[in-house]
Chain A
Amino acid sequence: MSGTETAPSGPNEARVTIVRGPLVGAVLGRVVGMLAARAQCPIDKLDDALLITDAVSAHAPRFSTDDRVRVVVRTGGGALDIIVGPLADGGTEGLVADATLPGVGNVLERVADEVDRSRGEDGEQLRVRVSFAAT
């Protein structure tokens, strides 16, 4: 590969750790936007991904296990995954519940194609998927 080649090159993944506070939304939105764009995510789905990112940025800090928010942003196979965690006990349910807007409903569950909760050694983990593969 040449140093100037810019075509997308398969699955991509960014691991982001951000101190709680205004930095979370400011950085995470840009990372998600860039990876989604590089994965040729259509504009309506990019908008969905950024809505999810805003919800995660606003509420995940309250449930993180320390003063950092850890997010993995993964693209590939016609989908974008936003994986948040480790979260404290009850964090996945709390994060999903907090993403409810009056008159709109739950942003994560309405916008995402998949919302998975899992538990690892370090704590709970929430995976939110936006799919955009051509059908």
Chain B
Amino acid sequence: MGTTADDPGEAPGRNVAPKSVIPDLELVLPARPENVAVVRHALGGFGDAFDVPDQALADIKLAVTEACTNVVVHAYPDGEGPLGVNAWMEDDRLTVVVHDEGRGMLPRPDSPGLGLGLPLIATLAESLELGTGADDRTEVRMTFLLSDAEAAA
């Protein structure tokens, strides 16, 4: 279970991160296409360890893949930087935060994508928050309700 920590540095103006949680899993990799698959596999292990239902885990991996792909494609147009994924369980919810230290979320008329990634994530997740988190990093925070998936299984 994610550990809630004292957070004396909590900034009231922060867009995301209503409270500080020490994640069960933190993973940081170079933002490269091949490392999106590493994140998927790591999340698979996370799901196995917490007995996340298969269908829910498939949805979670799809949503997180979309978020990670956004980092790889958009975050560092002039080079490479870190791709971070934090995940934790809290009651019957799994929260995954995908973060980067790139240029933030800006309109991009020349985007190579179809613009379907964020709507897809919003459909798959119970909640989706976009914004700036700790250390001014860009965050996509997704929360997945697992009890619904268990009932449906």
Interface residues of A (CB under 8 A from B): 1, 3-6, 8-9, 12-19, 21-23, 26-31, 33-35, 38, 67-68
What chain A residues lie within 8 Å of B28 (beta carbons)? 14-15
How far is A67 from B45 in the complex, measured between Cα atoms in Å?
19
Q: Does B105 contact A (CB under 8 A)?
A: no
Tell me the count of chain B residues lying within 8 A, CB to CB, of chain A: 30
Alpha-carbon distance A75/B41, docked complex (angstroms): 17
Closest B residue to A23 using CB positions: B49
Specify the main secondary structure of chain A where it touches its partner: mixed
Q: By the criterion CB–CB under 8 Å, are A23 and B27 in contact? A: no
Query: Known contacts being A14-B38, A31-B38, A35-B38, is A26 close to B33, with CB within 8 Å?
Result: no
Interface residues of B (CB under 8 A from A): 1, 3, 22-30, 32-35, 37-38, 41-42, 44-46, 48-50, 69, 72-73, 112-113
Min CB–CB distance B134 → chain A (angstroms):
15
Assuming the contacts A14-B28, A14-B29, A16-B27, asked whether A30 and B34 have C-beta atoms less than 8 A apart, the reply is no
Minimum C-beta distance from B85 to chain A (A): 10
Say which residue of A5, A12, A23 sits within 8 Å of B29 (CB atoms).
Answer: A12
Q: Are B45 and A29 in contact (CB under 8 A)?
A: yes
CB-CB nearest in chain B for A70: B26
Asked if A27 and B38 make an inter-chain contact with CB atoms under 8 angstroms apart, the answer reads no
Take A3-B69, A27-B46 as given contacts and tell me if A12 and B26 are in contact as well, using a CB distance cutoff of 8 Å: no
Residues of B within 8 A of A23 (CB): 24-25, 45-46, 49-50
